């Protein structure tokens, strides 16, 4: 189905709800792996191809049980529209991307702290999607440069650095993937590319045992994942919601901070609000004890995604992308320094 045909079908599906706009008020909010269409007071989302129906429905059920934390879905279950799983949500107001200083950093941190206080035991949740997103990005990077899209020499250095930084991550993280789908040790991504972990492969994680922490984890948090609805900020996007290591939800801002994008003041505002709200993902006396691994993972993921995008667009790496690769370089040096020094603990 063409993208235009899909958005058309989604807009029509939206009109099954009374809050949808009857006339022209249809806007396409997103058209990536997911397609999101807004019609009046209703947002309809087509989930990525290959999304597992049982896992998505389990995530919807949990979203309905956490009012005040997660935006409640308008649909009980995911429906099929044009071959895609589709869900319906009330329309909220997103964060203004023009001014990161004015973003609700504190509100976001408090929402995550409250989410992380929810025990996942007894909830029918699959593992959170953080580690599988990392693996998808690194797998995608390692598949660049095939005969159909030869890798430009200017990228190969960056790809080597990103893969080496990936190799510093602990094996149990990579252990979330069954060995037959990623049959080589982390960091050894040369040679034959691993099996495609996107699409239908995502379902693999639902049935595999990921690193579970016994707490509900968002799995893909960033500033685009909160909206204001009826006057309160709420988390959105349940696609990666699951049982996981809650520190992964802080890892993206931690990676931005460590790479030098996020000003120390903003990072401190976010982290302090999280701790003040009782957020349990990190220890107040040494948050980087828990943050180090997931922040390294997210830095690798951001760099892999950025370099793959530059390659696809056929352009040299920009300053931001270079900074992410430099961060990967420092991850390698820091890991080498740690390996070379006696353990103090």
Partner 1 sequence: MRCPKCQGSMRTYDRNGVHIDQCENCRGIFLDYGELETLSRVESQWAQQQYTSPPPAPHGGPAWGTPHHGGHRGGHHQRSWVGMLFSS
Q: What share of the chain is helix, strand, coil (3-state, %, to 5)?
A: 45, 15, 40
Does residue number 319 form part of the binding site for partner 1 (CB under 8 A)?
A: yes
Q: Which residue from 288, 287, 299, 291 is spatially nearest to 331, judged by alpha carbons?
A: 299
Cβ nearer to partner 1, comparing 202 with 296: 296
Q: Which residue from 148, 242, 139, 240 is spatially nearest to 198, judged by alpha carbons?
A: 139
- Which positions from 106 to 145 touch partner 1 by CB under 8 A, shown as an x/- string? ---------------------------x------------
Does residue number 261 form part of the binding site for partner 1 (CB under 8 A)?
A: yes
- Which positions from 215 to 234 touch partner 1 by CB under 8 A, shown as an x/- string? -----x-xxx----------
Q: Residue for token digits 């099929």?
A: 80
**Interior CA angle at 106 toward 102 and 108, to 5°?**
95
- Minimum separation from the CB atom of position 89 to partner 1 (A): 17
Stretch that binds partner 1, among 12-20, 61-69, 177-185, 253-261 (CB under 8 A): 253-261
Sheet holding 42-46, edge to edge: 26-31, 35-39, 42-46, 84-90, 79-81
- Cβ atoms < 10 Å from Cβ of 187: 17
- Minimum separation from the CB atom of position 24 to partner 1 (A): 26
Does residue number 1 form part of the binding site for partner 1 (CB under 8 A)?
A: no
Among 62, 95, 115, 277, interactor with partner 1 by CB under 8 A: 95
- Minimum separation from the CB atom of position 159 to partner 1 (A): 19
Cβ nearer to partner 1, comparing 40 with 92: 92
Does residue number 292 form part of the binding site for partner 1 (CB under 8 A)?
A: yes
Q: What is the largest CA-CA distance in the chain?
A: 68
Among 13, 182, 233, 257, interactor with partner 1 by CB under 8 A: 257
Cα dihedral sign, 29-315-222-134: positive
Give CA–CA dist 345/332, Å, rounded. Answer: 21
Q: Which residue from 83, 77, 85, 50 is spatially nearest to 204, judged by alpha carbons?
A: 50
Which residues would be at the binding site for partner 1 (CB under 8 A)? 95, 97, 100, 103, 133, 220, 222-224, 254, 256-261, 263-265, 267-268, 271-272, 286-288, 291-292, 295-296, 302, 318-320, 323, 326-327, 330-331, 333-334, 337-338
């Amino acid at each position: 189905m063409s993208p235009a045909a899909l958005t058309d079908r989604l807009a029509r599906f939206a009109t099954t709800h009374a809050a949808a706009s009857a006339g022209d008020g249809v806007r396409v909010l997103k058209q990536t792996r997911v397609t999101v269409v807004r019609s009046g007071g209703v947002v309809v989302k087509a989930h990525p191809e290959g999304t597992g129906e049982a896992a998505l429905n389990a995530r919807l059920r949990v979203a309905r049980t956490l009012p005040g934390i997660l935006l409640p879905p308008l649909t009980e279950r995911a429906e099929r529209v044009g071959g895609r799983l589709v869900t319906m949500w009330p329309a909220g107001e997103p964060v203004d991307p023009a001014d990161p200083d004015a973003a609700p950093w504190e509100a976001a941190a408090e929402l995550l702290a409250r989410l992380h206080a929810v025990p996942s035991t007894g909830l029918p949740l699959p593992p959170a999607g953080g580690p599988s997103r990392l693996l998808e990005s690194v797998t995608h990077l390692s598949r660049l440069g095939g005969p159909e899209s030869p890798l430009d020499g200017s990228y190969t250095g960056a790809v080597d650095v990103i893969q080496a930084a990936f190799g510093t991550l602990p094996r149990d993280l990579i252990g979330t993937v069954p060995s037959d789908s990623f049959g080589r040790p982390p960091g050894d991504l040369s040679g034959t590319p691993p099996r495609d972990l996107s699409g239908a492969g995502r379902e693999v994680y639902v049935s595999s045992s990921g690193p579970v922490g016994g707490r509900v984890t968002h799995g893909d948090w960033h500033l685009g994942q909160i909206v204001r609805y009826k006057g309160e900020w709420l988390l959105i996007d349940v696609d990666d919601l699951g049982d996981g290591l809650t520190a992964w939800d802080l890892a993206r801002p931690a990676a931005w901070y460590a790479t030098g994008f996020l000003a120390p003041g903003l990072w401190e505002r976010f982290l302090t609000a999280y701790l003040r709200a009782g957020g349990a993902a990190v220890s107040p006396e040494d948050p980087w004890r828990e943050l180090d691994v997931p922040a390294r993972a997210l830095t690798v993921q951001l760099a892999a995604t950025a370099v793959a995008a530059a390659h696809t667009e056929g352009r040299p790496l920009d300053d931001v992308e270079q900074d992410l690769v430099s961060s990967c370089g420092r991850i390698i040096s820091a890991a080498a320094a740690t390996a070379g020094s006696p353990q103090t603990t």
